[in-house]
Structure 1
Amino acid sequence: MTTRRKKLPALISVPHGGTFIPEHLRSRCLLTDLDVALDGDTWTKQLFNFRGLTEEFLVMEAARIVVDLNREPTDRPPENPDGVVKTLTVTGKRIWEEDLTASETDELIHQWYEPYHEQLMNASLNPAVKIAFDCHTMLDVGPAKGKREWEARPLFCISNRGITGGEAGGETVTAEPELMQRLKELLEETFVEEADHTVPLVAVNEPFFGGFITRSHGKRSDIPWIQLEINRRLYLPETAGVLPSEAEVMRMNMLRNKLYEVFMQLTAEEVPAPVDEKSIS
């Protein structure tokens, strides 16, 4: 008999796990189904499937190329080809035969973006929720900040809009530094067998220090918000398909079970709410 597991007192958000392209846009898309899957956070609907295991769980069905929930709604092409809607993939492939118009972008924001952010806000108000995790994956080797070359990434990156110790830099953090350090310790203890010593096992705010979701909701929330990035080399084979194989699903289930234990241990301890430094005189 399977033991029923306790629900995490957490909000889990998976904003880049979808692959759906609206029918009226599909004929203009130049990408294959595999291209679409790889340009999002590949297979994260399976990897972060905490449905039934957490108090609040949200996943976006629309593909990241259609609408990116982790961008400001005013962050758009042509100024930014990687904005709230895309014109290029992360590897530089052109996405649309004809780029989306301003009115099409507005409609996508109204249909997909605004409802998701409203659901996030409502979910964060659930009194049973003690912490929020915005869950992503990252390329094993990706663009370096402020450099032309690409660099190897850590196996995990946790972010609170701060600096590499978790302390505040240029803005208020979305989770206290002590909480970030405790999460780092728990991840390192739990995933020690994955370490290969060529890259850090867990990095804080490097290479990512948190996106629009953690920033916008962290500012308006009384609970901590943490962005979690998992290196795709932990679960994604060199030759990936649109959907994972049975063996790959088993691998992701193992990773998710370990994450569940980390989250449960973290939330079993006292979770400090983020402090608004501007309110301290």
Structure 2
Amino acid sequence: MTPVTVTRGDSPVILGLPHTGTFLPDDIRARLNARGLDLADTDWHIERLYDGLLDGVTTVRAMFHRYVIDANRNPEGESLYPGQNTTGLVPLIDFDGADIWVTPPDAEEVAARTRDWHAPYHAALAAEIERVRAAHGVAILYDCHSIRSHIPFLFEGKLPDFNIGTDNGATCAAEVEAAVAAVCAGAEGYSMVQNGRFRGGWTTRHYGRPEEGVHVIQMELAQSTYLTEEAAPWTYDTEAAERLRVHLAAILRNLADLAPTLRGTQ
């Protein structure tokens, strides 16, 4: 299994998909417990949700599951949210705080997984960012995520439908965040927040260099917006998804249209 799949396009927009993969190598699968094997923390169907929304978009998709290694975590292991409950580079627990391993990986294995899975994904992503920036003078990375709307271990109450993360505005030009927020705010029947519980993962914070023409924004969607139920078997709700896709398409069009205006802001 290749760690990453890349589909190249000629748009200034790149979609990152770090958490949609479900592949587990046999040796890793054998060491997960029954709860871990449920793969409940997958960003279910996100690749389907965004498919075909923007002509010429580039996609970079991790094919491995986040329990192999989390492609959206700092490879040095530093927490994204110090002092708050979260999961690590190789998660030892799931989003509910429950153990997922029969035999957890040791430091040597974490290092090997970083080399064999995490690094190839980010090498591919970095290459596409540079390719797109060379072609357009600017690259906009939109990092695609989803999560259950109720997870008490991670956050109180119900998560908003659209969760925009820019590390409090540091990872993209203000116009980029505003272009996304405008669509979300105008989406009837949906809720939104900017830089709330999810301010952007390691990908967003690592690559976001607006002063160098690389603008990155993370979108964390509540899975209630497009699944029939936020539980196994994680069924894609076609009708709900089509309503949501209208707004996601508008977001990506806004970003593509905005890109030429960003060339002079570096």
Judge conservation of contact 1:176–1:274 (CA < 8 Å) in 2: no
Q: Once the two structures are superposed, what CA deviation does each residue of 1:147-202 show, in whole Å capped at 9, x if it has no partner? A: xx72221110111111xxx4xxxxxx11122331232112233x21x33xxxxx22
Q: Whole-Å Cα distance in 2 between the matches of residues 13 and 26 of structure 1?
A: 25
Superposition CA RMSD, Å: 3.1
Paired position in structure 1 for 2:174: 177
> Paired residue for 1:238?
229
Deviations 1:7-34 (A, max 9, x none): 7430000101111111111111113587
> Is contact 1:157–1:230 with CA below 8 Å preserved after alignment?
yes
Q: Are 2:141 and 1:132 equivalent residues in the alignment? A: yes
The one of 157, 160, 167 aligned to 2:166: 160
Distance (Å, rounded) in 2 between the aligned partners of 1:74 and 1:211: 14
Q: How many residue pairs are counted as aligned between the two chains?
A: 248
Match of 1:263 in 2: 252
Superimposed CA distance per residue, residues 120-148 of structure 1 (whole angstroms, 9 cap, x where no aligned partner): 11111122464110111132123488xxx
Partner residue, 2:50: 48
Please state how far the C-alpha of 1:267 moved relative to its aligned partner. 2.2
Q: After superposition, where does 1:48-197 map in structure 2 within 5 Å?
A: 48-50=50-52, 53-75=55-77, 82-125=87-130, 126=132, 127-128=135-136, 130-143=139-152, 150-162=156-168, 166=169, 173-189=170-186, 191-192=187-188, 194-195=189-190
- Structure 1, unaligned runs of 5 or more: 1-5, 167-172, 196-200, 277-281
Distance (Å, rounded) in 2 between the aligned partners of 1:242 and 1:272: 42
Runs of 4+ with deviation above 6 angstroms? 273-276
The Cα offsets for residues 199-252 of structure 1, whole Å up to 9 and x where unpaired, read as: xx221111211111011111495221001111111012236434635xx24543
Query: Identity over aligned residues, as a percent?
Result: 25
Partner Cα distance (1:54, 1:31) in 2: 40
Structure 2 gap segments, 5+ residues each: 1-8
Which residue in 2 is equivalent to 1:30? 33
Retained in 2: the 8 A contact 1:46–1:252? no
Separation in structure 1 between the aligned mates of residue 53 and residue 192 of structure 2, nearest angstrom: 25
- Counterpart in 2 of 1:207? 197
Structure 1 residues 263, 41: CA separation in 2 closer, same or farther (over 3 Å shift)?
same
Larger radius of gyration: 1
Q: Structure 2: which amino acid aligns with 1:124?
A: I
Task: Measure the CA separation in 1 of the matches of 2:34 and 2:198.
Answer: 26
